[in-house]
A and B are shown apart, each in its own frame.
Chain A
Amino acid sequence: MQIKGFGIALLGLAVAVGCTDGNSGFKESVKNREPDAKYVGQAVGNFSADEWYPGGQLGTTDNVTAGCYEDETPAVEKQGLMTAFNLGQAAFERKYTTSTAPFKGLGPAYVRSSCLDCHPGYGHGKRQYQYRAEFGNGYLLVIYHPVDDQNSDDGPYVAEVTGMPQTKATYPFLPPIDEEQIDIQWKNVTEMESGLPMQFPDGEEYSLIYPEVNIPESAFNTSPTPYQTGAVAFRLESTIGIIGSGLLDAIPEDSIREQYRSEARFVDLNPAFWDKDANDFAAGAWYGYEKLGEGRYADGTPASTGTKLLKRFTYAMTRATLQDGAGANAIWNITNVSRSDRPYLYTTKAWAKAMSENAQVIAAIKADPSSPYYANGTDEGIKDAVLNLLDPSTNQFDNQWHNFTPEMSDDQYYNFMVWHRGLSIPRARNLNRKEVQLGKEVFNRIGCATCHRPSWKTGSDNYWKPAIYADKELPRYQDQTIWPYTDMIQHRLYMKNGIHGSWCRTTPLWGRGLSRTNTGAEDRLHDNRARNVIEAIMWHGYSDKSEGYRATKNFYNLSKEERDAVVEFINSI
């Protein structure tokens, strides 16, 4: 039982309050503030009663204290799924080990040993100054061949390391990348490309920082290295919030189509997703049966050949349904823990080759006849076993070298997905306050709400689920009005050292104001470059090509009172 059933006010503390202290992001409290508890659930000022419940009645927790990101939705309790939720939570929080139950199967190469490392306090990752695969570091390295051979944001991922590159390996293997050689430098923006001054008209200054990442060729334990196949560029991508993901999954595809249509009249949307001429989704917007595999809808209807679902998750919108989304993928590939529907390793041929040719690796295996890579005990036999067993195309459960068994049980995976789809959104805070009401008015007036669309209505939430647990139910969110503040569409901001691929889905703003309460940090944007809300907003106007430039310019020209009000609003929703 985790939902705290009461309407206490935001402890959330800092969020609610006053002026920013330079760039520290630390807010000042205000004396004699009254708790908002007595207003919860009431229409106040320009807020409707239901805006207190951003996740709707089935998806909101009334808890707004530390730990509230961990709460289950009321739907979980209502559907009798608490035991599964709690077991799934453990799968998220605990460290995976090589072979100690209940969380076993780590490696042979891995990104982190625990989900919580990347999602500290269930929130966004924290800005890092060195790369270590440990708690708080929510960064995934992005390693790609830039199209301009220089530092373009665009270009294909290198093939020598996995798309989510691994810096850890279990004995006796070496990690694909030696993390100690990764260099992260934070640079100051001296001038906005758009020409916006770095001082508001009233004299208040702001500053912006961005990362530069370098990984030398010597850090790669692969054969070949990425440098041997082309120019290499690097970016960082941090985890985003995981709360409320199930609610986003419940937004009807037709509603999202209408949103695309309404925006396509004014901006050029990603052509991979939207066919402007047809005024409908492009082929690239869909995720089909060939990738999803056999499944079933919540109402029991089979989802067989021909099934296609709209992509809506991850920055690059690479995934459709949550049940085959980032979390469903990560519980397999971040730890490299296999399960019955994931019999393959998340590795590369280049790493497998390098390991098979490493004398120390061969010697270590040779000294351990119990090793699954021991084969006939000869150097050549071990080399062959390593090369093939580490290969991402080898079925780990059915091959000629060594047959492993699934490391995560089907029940564990189901529990994990109940937990994932069952995470709630904390209720809004301080909507009774005049500053927050002003913030809402200004947020809408200056154009922020164009992309950060305030609300959606879920439909029947006839969600897709895979065959592995097709006869079991997940938390379901039918007919809810939700307030995520995202249009579920990608836009381009053209930031300095921007996001890989240039296009980025509008990040939901709900619950983010409680980040500091839950995680101790409030870093924002895809690589945590923004140290507070002001910086996050101003990065939207770094370039005048940015689709957020006009709204940012409007923000820039606000009075301090109105700027602060927008910040308070964003921290309250």
Chain B
Amino acid sequence: MTEPMNEPLNEQILTEASAWFIEYRSGPLSASAHEEFMAWLRRSPEHIRAYLEVSRGYVELPASGEVPPPEIERLLAKARSRETDGVVALEEWTPRATALRPPPQKGALRRRLAVAASLFLVLGGAVGGYLFTQRGLYTTGPGEARTVTLEDASRIELNARTRLRVRYSAGLREVDLLDGQALFQVAKDHTRPFIVHSGTAQVRAVGTEFDVYRRGPDTTVTVLEGTVAVVGGSNPASDSTGPPAAANVLVTAGEQAVISPQGSGKPRAANVSAATAWTRGQLEFEETPLSEVADEFNRSSTRTLVLKSPQLAQMRINGVYSSVDPTSLILFLKSQPDLIVTEEGNEIQVRAH
């Protein structure tokens, strides 16, 4: 805890870190350059800190593709005008040896930017057209995550292996969760209720944030902010065209309710962090049965975790694992003395000793 993370870094080391960082952005480096850099990194923790800080400074800058070409052109023109006006004369930054050289092909990059600008518009139109033909259907595959922003600025974050359909009309905003899990951030609009249909459950919200997880016949609703009204029952999502007649259960922030075809469970205090760990690329388990852990794993991985010994289903698992890199969980299971883990093709088989 005494690590001087907030003390200013040595200016010399920072300068070297920046130079190395630019070398790495300049193209492939030779083996000897890699070696030299490794030696530089191994000089002190200070060198490592400097390099990480410089890297972070760089990635915070807007990147190509993020900024429309006219904006790039404006910034370039601004810098150029300072150069010719002589408003800021910083001659020490113009090395004498090269300043005299005639600038060849001036404006060549500018023309290319103009071409890029027109491409930007063409591509924008094509993407819009593609989404339109999908008619509000959004899907994700194994290990994939996706965020969708809707016309009213509501946001839906889809977990892996999820399918949902968005149906907006004049008086109603409806989403069918066909499979999987999603986090909803609903924009406030009292004239247009927002309703999520998941199996036999209907979740109704106005302006709030909540997670809906459809697993087999059950739906788990976790509320992060505000309140939602949950209606259980037996009418499936497909034939519900209007808003639900009455609210059965109110679930408020920090609570969770499970809705099965038999009806809605009472809302109880939820581990919101665990329920939404997937949005941070994590799988979070707290006394979770291994069978459920396997389900979660199989969702985020293209390989399948299979429990070969029935008694293992109830084994409890704790911890936080990366869902982006499911091998962390496999390695954890392999390190358990009671378990035998074997890999056969696409299957990861777990047995009790």
Real complex partners, A and B? no
Chain A residues engaging chain B, CB cutoff 8 angstroms: none
